[in-house]
Amino acid sequence: MKRKLSLLAAPYAVWLFLLVVIPILIMAVYAFTTSDSAATLENFMDMGIYASVFVRSFRLAAIATLICLLIGYPAAYFMAGEGPGFQRVALALIMLPMWMNFLLRTYSWMAILENNGLLNQLFQKIGLFSFLSGITGEEAQAFQMLRTPGAVTLGMVYNYLPFMILPIYSVILKLDSQLLEAARDLGANSVQVFWRVILPLSLPGVLSGVTMVFVPSVSTFAISRLLGGGTQMMLGDLIEQQFLGGAYNPHLGAAISMVMMVIVVLCMALMNHFGEGEEQAVML
Amino acid sequence: MSKELIRLQNLCMAYDGETILNNINLYINDKEFLTLLGPSGCGKTTTLRIIGGFTTPVSGDVFFDGVRINDVPPHKRQINTVFQKYALFPHLDVYENVAFGLRMQRRPEPGSKRGVKLSNEEIDRRVMEMLEAVSLKGFERRRVDALSGGQQQRVAIARALVNRPKVLLLDEPLGALDLKLRKDMQIELKRIQQQVGITFIYVTHDQEEALTMSDTIVIMDKGNIQQIGTPEDIYNEPKNAFVADFIGESNIIDGVMAQDRLVRMYGRQFPCLDGGFAENEPVDVVIRPEDIDIVPVEQGQLTGTVTNVTFKGMQYDIIVDFRGFKWLIQTTDHSPVGSKIGIKIDPDGIHVMKKSEYSGMFGDYSSFSDEYDELNGTDEAREEQSNET
Amino acid sequence: MKQSRRTGSRILIALVFLFLYAPIALLIIFSFNEGDSSAVWRGFSLHWYQSMLRNRLIIESVYMTLLVSLLATLISTFAGTFAAIGLYSLPRRRRDVLLTVNNIPMMNADIVTGVSLCLFFVAFFQFWGGFARWLNGVQSAFVLPERLTLGFGTLLLAHIAFNIPYVILNVAPKLRQMDRNLMDAAQDLGCTWMQAFWKVMLPEIKPGIISGALIAFTMSIDDFVISYFTAGSSTSTLAMTIYGMTKRRVTPEINAVSTLLFLTVLILLVIVNVGEIRQERRRRNPSVRKEPFGERLRRFLSTRTGRYVQWGITAAAAICFVATVSFLTAETQSIPVVNVCSWGEYIDTDLIDRFEAETGIRVNYQTAESNETMYSLLKSGGADYDVIVPSDYMIAQLIEEGMLSELNYDNIPNFQLIDPRFRNLSYDPENKYTVPYTWSTLGVIYNPTMIDGPVTSWGALYDERNAGKVLLINNSRDAIGEALMYLGYSVNTTDENEIRAAYRILDEASKRGVFQGKVMDEVFQTMEGGNAAIASYYAGDYLSMLENNEDLRYVIPDEGANWFVDAMCVLKDAPHMREAEAWINFIASTDASLANMDYIGYASPNSEALEQYPAYYEELYGEPMDPELYDIMVTPPEVLERCEMYENTPPNVRALYNRLWIQLGI
């Protein structure tokens, strides 16, 4: 019976090979060849000039991840402390935006952040600009918010915050309350309980949250295109440019993808090294 | 009573290159209460799973009522199982758990190829009967995870027995219960077995459980059967040091057979009842702690020094040092630590065994307390389970 | 103290929700806006909902999104569950290897997954093409299609591929938690393996399967990046449609769609949650012993009527399935089709309906962002266009690379109406491949209310005084070309030093913060809304913008400008040659040209149309056309003389353009 059951894994193994392993291998082949299919390392040699794009992507993604963590952890922590009815509703409310495509949500921010957008209108109404020009003497009618790094970061935080809250929440929820009682019993006050027991034990959730925010952030191109207006070129834009954008060069695109993949995997491996066991950190 | 029902022939089993069963031959009679007894990893659960049909042996045959059933899937065997930790279906209530097997059954009927299902009335009648028999009436709609251990245990038994199997397999069913409940359930199980009059095959690592309930005990270790016999046989006539040690408490001493009915230990001759050994053959001598009488030093066959005394309620367990080899003696008399005592052993208190691979491994009470703890280990069952998967 | 902390925590949670929902609320509110702005409220109206229902692009992409998400969820839940069971019964070491591979799509950035799948599909198509040609050559029993392109199939495969790991991840823990003896127990009690699976394993792992399916569906709906790389050009999910729109004008119809989607999900969620709560209450309170719904359903289904219902449901499901499949196949086969790729806001859409009504040929009208983007799409095998409308220099490049097919001008009688000025131009000297579509100039659009003085030079684009108010055109040829013209060089120069000098102009301006952003069709929204003061764009599009913002001015700078022709051509091996020529002929007609000129503001090369347009305008609007605007639209010959047309540049110059362009973005 056992043996028969494991046959079920065979088609999936084939599938994985075809649609996961081979595509990545093909990508690797592209990365190491030129358009006349000659082997080359040129694609990687050229990468130096994109260093600043790498730096910007990783910097913005790291900032966004940090902000998500700073907002998401307390939110998840407090949520887990509420009653079951509250939790159920809160959980549903956090999941709900994900059923609208993230482009819709990002697009909505465009209307808010425009120079003539809602936020600037609001500032105008409350007289912020006249107040400011009174102080600085300079006349300002709007803050340039769209097409700035801040807007891109905001877009990332907005879109990926639920991915930070959910895993942390589910890990905190599963904490054995006896552990907390034991810690109290051993003389820890509530701050100490948090720092010495809850935080270390919720680390797997934090790690998986960080992964789930950082990886899509570092590689996004839709958010940077919409909110960054082409001025904040990120790795995702760079790659997209090589495949479907103005600068057609899939070999270079594959090379950049490979480098990004390797860096991301290294980052994740490093992190998991510190907090082993991402296994239990599933979203739900 | 003596009709043979199940026969295991040359059963071998291995997993990942590791031998789990090594040429097991065993027959089981109808209406017998047979216990497979042994430490974890001895192969007893594997043997049970082969009989149940959950595991296919590498080689060897299983016969049921004279018919080879190696290839019969579990659901077609007239055998039901009470699983370790019960394996009750958490998504069903008590009633539906018990009714599960009946809902699966199809009674052969002329004109219908697949047979017909049992009527709801019949199912209801049999389930209620069974619940009554295990004193769980009124619990029908309870969720199984809301029951106590003992109640779950009884649901598991009811669920198996309601199908009226010819054989009931029980895989350490009492392992998760506390001591008092376990004792009650031992008696209850024996009663149920006698009442329904079918074969029980029982797996346990608890020798006391085995002695209490079984008609026949099969002692296994390392994939081999060490001894088959009634509880009395096994206790009184262990075949080797392993059996002697596993069943009850034993002092096992190196000896030499001087001649028939005379064995030499500590340079002295002791009369005994055993014979059939070669002259001067080295042997293992088993002396049960309760078969040793304490006498004044001058009357003793041997003299030793008391090193430890434990009060056990009915008796004292005292550890006595005989020239560096420590014996366990159970006696009703108190002897203070450090006192010199003499001992006397009747010929029927001495049991002589041939030397075996187990010689020298058991029977010394130097590390007295450690060994006591080991005997009561309850985690063993779980380990065994994971070893075999 | 405790109370205050609780209040504090609630405030934080409330703020988080405010942050999450404020933009969504705005989206919903502005879906009822009378006006078409997402920032200015002009009164309540439902007309966006009405027009949404008539917008074929939106409706089709919503349908496509739901179809792909549902199918992918269904298939991946099914496959993932069994794969998890299979994985779980493997020896540990092999299981761990497979699980690691299984985690790759989840760990990888979406874009890497998308790119690798895209490359895989393209490689497979090449392999398949060779195989099909060989097989069609050696036998004649059946014919395999030789040309496969990215589309619905690849999109679905990609979605399944990234969904299965989530299903497995959710089912596996349930399998691990399940008492291993449960399956044995069920079989012991008389179940076959299949029965035991249905009656015991499935109920046990059901929560895992459901949450797996839920997450898979969420991921599918939420996905944009992987779809973008694997759907090709002909299939478009809602996300892709929105992405396409954000480059131009996002119609508030999108707000309407999102509102409807959001409300649907909200209602579903409430139903599910209420059901769960009720179930839980029943569980906690066993004295109110009601027969569980499943039990009642089972009993009902075993009655005679129940069996009919069962048959009915099965039949309905089968019909739905067959209908879907036949719809998908019919879509691709029975009706004659022509796939057209053009630019955004570049046709009077009524023409499409008119053409379809006249000829019975269905038009798949798609748009690309720029010549370069379209070229990438073609190269990567992501497109199955018949007719494309590239600009002059790109046509020359495509001809050079042998990617266009020669036209049969007998099938395009309207070609005779094309003014000789626009025939045999440098990009197609013998005029074998092309029929001109429009011609226009690239000049400077500015908003005099936001800057001082009139603009007369390209230099205004790089002037520090305009910092933060300039939009740079987001395509290398135009952006660098403008700087070349500013410096007085030819736009077709191959001198690396001149090109680098032009790049430095851009680079310095960029460093000084002159450019607010790089835009293509986003320019409409930004300039019309007064969010930027200066941009360079095409004369035709200026006329469209003028309708929404009367302040805007257009100028051809003193240094001269670029004039260009966009022409229709047909790709090599296009599967619908006949339909493509019919379309080209239709568009080249005087009627269509007039309609187009009026709608898009670009001049037609049709000599009759050029002549008749002022009269046509007067008839349509009841007032004569402003001659100044006519001169902007139909550039007078003396101005055209100052303008230069792009020519195809050698590959090394193209590579230099690309490199510099990306460097600029950095």
Which residues in chain B touch residue C283, judged by CB atoms under 8 angstroms apart? 143
Residue C454 lies in a domain: no
Residue C258 lies in a domain: no
pLDDT for position B237: 87
Residues C412 and C387: their CA atoms lie apart, in Å, by 14
**What CATH number does the domain containing C79 carry?**
1.10.3720.10
Residue C169 lies in a domain: yes
Residue C63 lies in a domain: yes
* Beta bridge pairs of residue B350: B287
- The distance from CA C517 to its chain's CA centroid, rounded to whole angstroms, is 21
pLDDT at A253 > cutoff 70? yes
pLDDT for position C355: 93
Asked if B210 and B263 sit in the same domain, the reply is no
pLDDT for position B383: 39
How many CB contacts within 8 angstroms connect chain A with chain C?
A: 308
Q: Name the closest residue on chain A to residue C655, using Cα atoms.
A: A247
Residue B229 lies in a domain: yes
A152: amino acid identity, one letter: V
Test C189 with B53 for CB contact under 8 angstroms: no
Residue B372 lies in a domain: no
What is the SS3 assignment for C536-573?
Answer: EEEHHHHHHHHHHCCCCEEECCCCCCEEEEEEEEEECC
- Summarize pLDDT for B329-358 with one digit per residue, the tens: 888 888 888 888 888 888 888 888 888 888
Which residues in chain C touch residue B16, judged by CB atoms under 8 angstroms apart? 91
- Summarize pLDDT for A265-275 with one digit per residue, the tens: 888 777 777 65
Domains of chain A as residue ranges with CATH: 53-101+161-274 (1.10.3720.10)
pLDDT at B379 > cutoff 50? no
Domain boundary among B236, B267, B288: B236
A136 to chain C, minimum CA–CA distance in Å? 19
Domain around B265: 251-361
- Summarize pLDDT for A149-181 with one digit per residue, the tens: 899 999 999 999 999 999 999 889 888 777 877
Of B90, B141, B143, the CB nearest to C204: B90
Q: Are B82 and B203 in contact (CB under 8 A)?
A: no
What's the predicted TM-score (pTM) here? 0.80
Test A219 with C111 for CB contact under 8 angstroms: yes
Residue C188 lies in a domain: yes
Exposure on the CB side of residue C139, measured as CA atoms within 13 A: 7
Asked if B228 and B256 sit in the same domain, the reply is no
Residue B368 lies in a domain: no
Q: Name the closest residue on chain C to residue B16, using Cα atoms.
A: C91
Asked if B224 and B339 sit in the same domain, the reply is no
pLDDT for position C582: 94
Which residues in chain C touch residue A121, judged by CB atoms under 8 angstroms apart? 39
Best residue in C95, C183, C189, C302 for a mutation probing chain B (most B CBs within 10 Å): C189
Of B84, B91, B141, the CB nearest to C181: B84
Asked if B224 and B274 sit in the same domain, the reply is no
Asked if B305 and B176 sit in the same domain, the reply is no
Residue B206 lies in a domain: yes
Residue B369 lies in a domain: no
Which residues in chain B touch residue C200, judged by CB atoms under 8 angstroms apart? 89
Best residue in C88, C188, C298 for a mutation probing chain B (most B CBs within 10 Å): C188
Best residue in C12, C115, C214 for a mutation probing chain A (most A CBs within 10 Å): C115
- Please report which confidence band the pLDDT of residue B266 belongs to, taking 50, 70 and 90 as the band edges: confident
A47 touches chain C (CB under 8 A): no
Which residues in chain B touch residue C176, judged by CB atoms under 8 angstroms apart? none
- Give chain C's domain count: 1
Of B75, B84, B143, the CB nearest to C187: B75
DSSP codes, B130-152: HHHHTT-TT-TTSBGGGS-HHHH
Which residues in chain A touch residue C221, judged by CB atoms under 8 angstroms apart? 98-101
**What CATH number does the domain containing B199 carry?**
3.40.50.300
pLDDT for position C324: 65
Asked if B9 and B113 sit in the same domain, the reply is yes
Residue B292 lies in a domain: yes
Which residues in chain C touch residue B104, judged by CB atoms under 8 angstroms apart? 189-191, 195
In 3D, which of B156, B107, B117 has the Cα closest to residue B134? B156
Region A92-115: what's the mean pLDDT? 84
Test A100 with C373 for CB contact under 8 angstroms: no
pLDDT for position B376: 43
pLDDT for position A283: 40
Asked if B178 and B258 sit in the same domain, the reply is no
Which residues in chain C touch residue B176, judged by CB atoms under 8 angstroms apart? none
Asked if B15 and B156 sit in the same domain, the reply is yes
Asked if B158 and B263 sit in the same domain, the reply is no
In 3D, which of A85, B371, B173 has the Cα closest to residue C277? A85
Mean per-residue pLDDT of chain A = 83
pLDDT for position B370: 43
Residue C408 lies in a domain: no
Of C91, C185, C193, the CB nearest to B81: C185
Asked if B279 and B179 sit in the same domain, the reply is no
What is chain C's alpha carbon radius of gyration, rounded to the nearest angstrom? 30
| CA angle centred on B261, ends B259 and B266, rounded to 5° | 75
- Summarize pLDDT for B89-121 with one digit per residue, the tens: 888 889 999 998 888 888 787 777 777 888 889
C500 touches chain B (CB under 8 A): no
| Dihedral sign from CA coordinates of C523, C528, C529, C533 | positive
Residues C625 and A30: their CA atoms lie apart, in Å, by 55
Residue B387 lies in a domain: no
Helix (H) and strand (E) counts in chain B: 10, 22
Asked if B255 and B338 sit in the same domain, the reply is yes
- What average pLDDT values come out for chain C (666 residues) when binned by 10 residues? 72 92 90 81 88 82 88 93 88 85 85 91 87 85 78 91 92 86 86 86 89 89 89 82 75 86 85 75 56 59 66 71 59 73 84 91 83 82 83 91 92 92 91 93 92 89 89 89 93 93 93 86 83 90 87 92 93 88 94 91 92 91 88 90 89 87 77
Asked if B44 and B152 sit in the same domain, the reply is yes
- Give chain B's domain count: 2
Q: Are C257 and C52 in contact (CB under 8 A)?
A: yes
Q: Are A237 and A225 in contact (CB under 8 A)?
A: yes
What is the phi/psi pair of residue B326, to 5°? -95, 130
Best residue in C4, C9, C16, C507 for a mutation probing chain A (most A CBs within 10 Å): C16
Residues C212 and C216: their CA atoms lie apart, in Å, by 6
- Please report which confidence band the pLDDT of residue A60 belongs to, taking 50, 70 and 90 as the band edges: very high
**What CATH number does the domain containing B354 carry?**
2.40.50.140
Of C26, C98, C468, the CB nearest to A16: C98
Residues B212 and B187: their CA atoms lie apart, in Å, by 8
Residue B243 lies in a domain: no
- Helices within chain B (DSSP H only): 44-52, 94-104, 120-133, 149-161, 179-196, 207-213, 231-236, 241-246, 368-375, 380-388
Domain around C204: 56-250
What is the SS3 assignment for B50-113?
Answer: HHHCCCCCCEEEEEECCEECCCCCHHHCCEEEEECCECCCCCCEHHHHHHHHHHHCEEEECCEE
Residue C644 lies in a domain: no
